[in-house]
Chains A and B, each alone.
Chain A
Amino acid sequence: MIYDVSQPAALMAALLPDLLLMAGAMALALLAAWRPASDAHQRLVGQATLVVLATSLGSVVLAAVRGGEATAGVIAVDGFRWAVDVVVLLAAMGTVALNIEQQPRDGIRHAESHVLVALAASGMMVLAAARDLMVIFLGIEIMSIAIYALVGLNRRSARSAEASLKYFLLGAFATAFLLYGIALIYGATGQTQLGAISATIARHALALDPMLMVGIGLLVIGFGFKVAAVPFHMWAPDVYDGAPTPVAAFMAAGVKAAAFATLLRILYEAFYLVGLWMEPVAWIAIVTMVVGNLVALSQRDIKRMLAYSGIVHTGYLLVAAVAATDLASTAFTFYMLGYTLATIGAFAIVGVVQRDGEEGAPLAAYAGLWSTRPWLALGMAVYLLAFLGFPVFGGLGFFGKWYLLSATIDAPGRLIVLAIVIVLTSVISAGYYLPVIRAMFMEPRPEGATSPAPTGAWTRAVLVASAGLLLVCGLLPSSLATIALRNGFAPHAIPDEVRATGAGVLR
């Protein structure tokens, strides 16, 4: 059935999951303020947050099952949105679960962090649903401001404060670019809704209008920062390193999923007639993959290495953005699911291995982990191989990359060059994933090293869930494949002559 978003009742129905989450978040804020900050209290609030997130997830799944479309209007209702929401909510739940057990170890007793995670998640869901530039701007700001605070969570650590400062300053700076882009696009087309923008472009043949071009450029720059594509990635390693580990996981998974979802929706729905954005985005993708991989090689700290790994995966997803076919959007959601599971799991293990009070995650801490904590080592290996896209042992990671490569190769034009770049850079990526596996399995445990603290209930749940899902779906992805096929959103077929004008390197 069709949601007519202009009617308030239909709008409410379309926004049900988001509203549930926001209301829940407000209630949680009150709950958090109810009792003085203590470990037990923050655990209670955490568990409450998980319940709220779960209900929202339930409503998302219900809405997806019920189907329904909203073709025009401020809010989009389609499978793609629900898929991104699922990914975001999973990431949020993982983060909260990890935070419940990580915070006491970092000496953080106040419970507001869980509320902030919920609020950030709601921002992301708004982004996933937005089909209007203003709503997009609002969604970004809700998400970002919540994350700025989350990064600075650990008041006692100077690194956490410095990370949040950097993220804030550069974030605000990039958002300014984004906003200026929106302004110029509004200036060029007079519309703020994506559908309307593409209609005006078609009517007035604005494809080569300079103001529009600069607007789109600025938009890409703004989103480039949010997803940490290379020229705009400088903040990522420092912030991931400084932020508490669960928050870093949330940023790597959730923020990337929501930002990319919006970027895809803007490019596919608003600017599918403008061929010019394809080549710059393609070049950004290539540069991201190459530079991200190369710099990752020289990282000695696991969190910074995972940060660069995040940047490299942004490169892969940008390739899907350039492919711009129906296969590409489903490939994106499929890839994001695998990537999120692996990221949450990897950061969970980094958290466990990290000794209390100690900053950073040096590689040496992982030496001989297999001999003391074999299951942790095996888990980390599965996550790293998932990043690498290794079949069976890496589980869903392989089929994610497989689907991505299929989308790229299937797309018209010479996108196979990008496929080759993906493949070659992922060989370089083996250069920094393998040393971790080697350290864990092949190097002896140094005498003095104490074995990591036993994992808490929630962390173990997160690990088992993420590794289990990864491996099981890795073997039998057919069920996921059907969901993905149904939940892609078919962008308007980009006419070949548009594609030809745009894709310089890809001609």
Chain B
Amino acid sequence: MLAESLALSAVLFTIGVVGVLTRRNAIILFMCVELMLNAVNLSFVALSTLYGATGQVFVIFVMTVAAAEAAVGLAIIIAIFRHRQTVHLDDINLLKG
């Protein structure tokens, strides 16, 4: 059971990474990062069956942090939208060189 769930979380993690690489929209990018975090949560839960409750405690931590991060992140994305009227990442390249 453990191996399958670890494998699943690995797959989910990879999907998240591919999502970050391919998609161009800031929000969707952020969603993919959230997906990666949840993949890690899955592996934590799976491992807690082996080593006891610390894994699950970790999950709680991760979720709260992810929430905080989401709040600040979305505020930033709104700020960028106010400036550039778009969240399409290809247009956001003022800073380069």
What is the interface of chain A, defined by CB distance below 8 A to chain B? 134, 137-138, 141, 145, 148-149, 152, 155, 158-159, 161-166, 168-169, 172-173, 175-176, 179-180, 182-184, 186-187, 190, 192, 237-239, 241-242, 299, 301, 304
Contact = CB atoms under 8 A, between A and B. Distances in A.
B95 A242 contact: yes
A137 B61 contact: yes
A164 B68 CA distance: 16
Contact of B30 (A137, A172, A186): A172
B79 interface: yes
A179 B47 contact: no
Nearest to A298: B97
A168 B72 contact: yes
B7 interface: no
Interface string B56-97: 011001100100110011011101101110000000101111
Contacts of B47: 183, 186-187, 190
B1 interface: no
A113 B76 CA distance: 15
Given A162-B92, A164-B79, A183-B58, 15 more contacts: A134-B61, A141-B69, A145-B68, A149-B76, A159-B94, A159-B95, A169-B30, A172-B69, A175-B69, A176-B36, A183-B40, A186-B44, A190-B51, A237-B95, A242-B95
Contacts of A237: 95
Nearest to B77: A165
Contact of B79 (A161, A173, A180): A161
10 residue pairs, one from A and one from B, having the closest CB atoms: A238-B95, A176-B36, A190-B51, A158-B83, A172-B33, A141-B65, A161-B79, A187-B47, A183-B43, A179-B40
A40 B96 CA distance: 35
A241 B95 contact: yes
A180 B40 contact: yes
Contacts of A159: 94-95
Contact of B33 (A152, A173, A239): A173
Interface residues of B, number: 42
Interface string B29-60: 11001001101100110010011001101100
A169 B29 contact: yes
25 contacts: A145-B69, A145-B72, A148-B76, A149-B75, A152-B76, A159-B94, A161-B76, A161-B82, A162-B80, A162-B95, A165-B92, A166-B92, A168-B72, A172-B69, A179-B37, A179-B62, A183-B9, A183-B40, A186-B51, A187-B6, A187-B47, A190-B47, A239-B95, A242-B94, A299-B97
A68 B76 CA distance: 43
A182 B62 CA distance: 12
Contacts of B96: 238
B68 A141 contact: yes
Contacts of B44: 183, 186
A158 B82 CA distance: 9
A467 B54 CA distance: 48
A270 to B, nearest CB: 16
A365 B7 CA distance: 56
Contacts of A175: 69
Given A159-B94, A183-B43, A176 B33 contact: yes
Contacts of B54: 186, 192
Contacts of A138: 61, 65
Contact of A168 (B36, B55, B65, B76): B76
Given A148-B72, A155-B79, A169-B29, A163 B95 contact: yes
Contact of A180 (B13, B84, B95): B13
B15 interface: no
Nearest to A238: B95
Contacts of B80: 161-162, 165
B33 A149 contact: no
Contacts of B33: 169, 172-173, 176
A434 B88 CA distance: 40
A239 B76 CA distance: 14
A165 B68 CA distance: 16
A265 to B, nearest CB: 19
Contacts of A182: 58
A310 to B, nearest CB: 16
B97 A304 contact: yes
Interface string B7-27: 001000100100010000010
A168 B73 contact: yes
B31 to A, nearest CB: 11
A179 B61 CA distance: 11
A131 B83 CA distance: 42
Nearest to B97: A304
A187 B55 CA distance: 9
Contact of B94 (A141, A155, A162, A169): A162
B79 to A, nearest CB: 5
B66 to A, nearest CB: 9
